[in-house]
């Protein structure tokens, strides 16, 4: 959905008070804004999506929004806030009731992000360990496109 259509749908959802739809549209808007290069607006939308999803008890959306937010913050050099969001995701994933493939995907995303955080902090061994864990979750969950990315990261890492 294009940004204009998302804004119209979001306005209609806000007028109707449909919190679940609002949270999902905020997430979609955040991702669309990121794709368009409007990072701060994307961060704001993802933060709002995650907060609302948490308020209404939509744990899968809360996790997806928090992970997307962590990825954006990390890409902007906000390493410590990103690390905290990834660690929060790990804590929440231990308690969340999710389908196995969804849990594996979210765990894979979380360890991928943590690996990137460790990489940015020049903690090579920790990054490699996180990426190995990520690879295992992506493979187990059948997320081959993500597993391929992790294999690329691991193969490009110099040997110890």
Q: Say yes or no: 5 and 80 in one domain.
A: yes
Residue range of the domain that includes 17: 1-97
Angstrom distances, CA of residue 87 to CA of 18, 47, 114: 30, 16, 8
Dump pLDDT digits (tens) for 106-152.
999 999 999 999 999 999 999 999 999 999 999 998 899 999 999 99
DSSP secondary-structure letter at 157?
S
The tokens describing 159, both together, are 């040997």
Q: Say yes or no: 93 and 107 in one domain.
A: no
Q: Rounded to 5 degrees, what are φ and ψ at 29?
A: -65, -40
Q: Rounded to 5 degrees, what are φ and ψ at 112?
A: -60, -50
Q: Say yes or no: 116 and 58 in one domain.
A: no
CA distance 74 to 113: 8
In this prediction the pTM is 0.88
């Amino acid at each position: 959905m294009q940004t204009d259509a998302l804004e119209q749908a979001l306005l209609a959802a806000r007028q109707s008070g449909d919190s679940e739809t609002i949270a999902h549209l905020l997430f979609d808007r955040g991702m669309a804004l990121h794709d368009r290069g409007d990072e701060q607006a994307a961060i704001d939308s993802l933060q709002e999506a995650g907060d609302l999803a948490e308020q209404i008890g939509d744990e899968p959306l809360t996790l997806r929004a928090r992970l997307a937010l962590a990825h954006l913050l990390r890409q902007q050099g906000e390493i410590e806030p990103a690390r905290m969001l990834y660690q929060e995701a790990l804590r929440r994933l231990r308690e969340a009731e999710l389908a196995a493939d969804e849990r594996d995907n979210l765990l894979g995303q979380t360890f991928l992000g943590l690996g990137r955080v460790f990489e940015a902090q020049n903690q090579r061994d920790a990054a490699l360990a996180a990426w190995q864990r990520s690879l295992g979750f992506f493979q187990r969950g059948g997320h081959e496109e993500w597993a391929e990315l992790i294999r690329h990261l691991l193969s490009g890492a110099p040997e110890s």
